[in-house]
Amino acid sequence: MSTVALQEKKPNLWQGGISPYGETTTWGKLMMWFFLLSDSFTFGAFLISYGTIRFANTQDWPNPNEVFSAFPGLGHADLPLVFVSLMTFILIMSSVTMVLGVRAGKENNQKGVLLWLGLTIIGGIMFLGCQAWEWTHMLTGEHPINLAGNPYGGPDGSFDAHSHGPVAFGQFFFTITGFHGFHVFTGIVINIIVWLFVLKGVYSKSGDYQIIENIGLYWHFVDLVWVFVFASFYLLSSL
């Protein structure tokens, strides 16, 4: 009887009518949104800094159609932006599989979550593999770009063996794409851990797959950031 009395006297801490957080917003989801907001400031600062240096530089900026014209197995095959477009497609498709994984979680479909989350992990690994090849090619390829050198200093940002372009290009490229790649790697690790918990049936027993939606928010954020990175380095650099 005393326990019932205590439960009846428990005060309602929210006295403002309808809660602004809604009935489906958990603390985990709310904290993820706070983290993504703070992380967006970091990426924003990087990209704004890059844009400032890019358009303040009087030298010819490297032409992305020349810098990113290689393809695995074909070398400099004059295929501008084809490989990075493939990378972007892979990452976008991993977002699609994550959406399907979240939906499967809401339906308490363990097999569906395992399938779609597993495909998301594979997509992330493929993206990182593509980025590793791109970095290797840029650092050790026919016309290497690194933190201290940039051979694309000719007219309109073309390759010139006797004229070096802005060193800042390589510095910003490897810093920003590396920072983004670290986020992808972190997302893959988290997804693998959650996938193993799903395999063990941890969330099926409780009937709560909220963690899938939380990590889905992170994964979609990483994909969205890549759109801005892609536009900044691969599309707008030639302006």
Model confidence at 75, pLDDT cuts 50, 70, 90, reads low
Model confidence at 6, pLDDT cuts 50, 70, 90, reads very low
pLDDT tens digits, 201-225: 888 887 788 899 999 999 999 999 9
Please tell me which residue, 119 or 8, carries the higher pLDDT value.
119
The predicted model scores a pTM of: 0.84
Mean of all residue pLDDT scores within the chain: 84
Whether 118 and 195 have beta carbons less than 8 Å apart is answered as yes
- Residue 118's pLDDT is what? 97
Euclidean distance between CA atoms 137 and 73, whole angstroms: 11
- Residue 66's pLDDT is what? 81
Q: What is the sign of the dihedral through the CA atoms of 52, 176, 239 and 148?
A: positive
Our CA angle for 44, 50, 52, nearest 5°, is 100
Domains, the chain: 59-235 (1.20.120.80)
